[in-house]
Amino acid sequence: MTGIQTIKRFCTGRFLSCLVISFIIIGSAELTAQTTSTDWAWKVLLRHEGLEFAYIFYNKADNYNNGIVLKLTNRNEYEVSYRFKMVLRSDDREVEIPVFGELAAKSMKTGEQDGLFFVPFKDGTEIRELGLRAYRVSPSSN
């Protein structure tokens, strides 16, 4: 399966509302940086073919720039291969980062060592939108 899943974040006071283009509300996140990585802090972006895509938004991921950390959780009883483009937008720029890999049954991965930490703009530009494009999840051939 392929498709486009984009979340738009619109500022309203101190809070960001997350909205899927198809107008289904996914959740909300505060503008302040996350201080934890426990399960309650993660916002689910998409569930597809047994693979859950969740994220945490960090206001100052590298002490200056906005960043996103993804967490992939395989809920299947088998290993999966995944491929997608992480899309990060500011008011006037867009960055697409290809991501691919494999994930063992009933396991998860997250963070920089797994290629799931993104700081797309190094000049203080704010991330306004995040999403996934061309995502594919399938049983691994291994």
Domains, the chain: 4-139 (2.60.40)
Greatest mean pLDDT range, 21-35, 38-52, 103-117: 103-117
Q: How large is the average pLDDT for residues 4-18?
A: 36
Q: What are the tens digits of pLDDT across the range 86-115?
A: 999 999 999 999 999 999 999 999 999 999
Give Cα separations from 1 to 28, 46, 101, 136 (angstroms): 27, 13, 16, 6
Q: Round to whole Å and give the CA distance between 39 and 102.
A: 22
Q: How large is the average pLDDT for residues 30-34?
A: 39
- For residue 65, give the DSSP letter: S
Stated pTM of the model: 0.73
Looking at the predicted structure, is the pLDDT value of residue 60 above 80?
yes
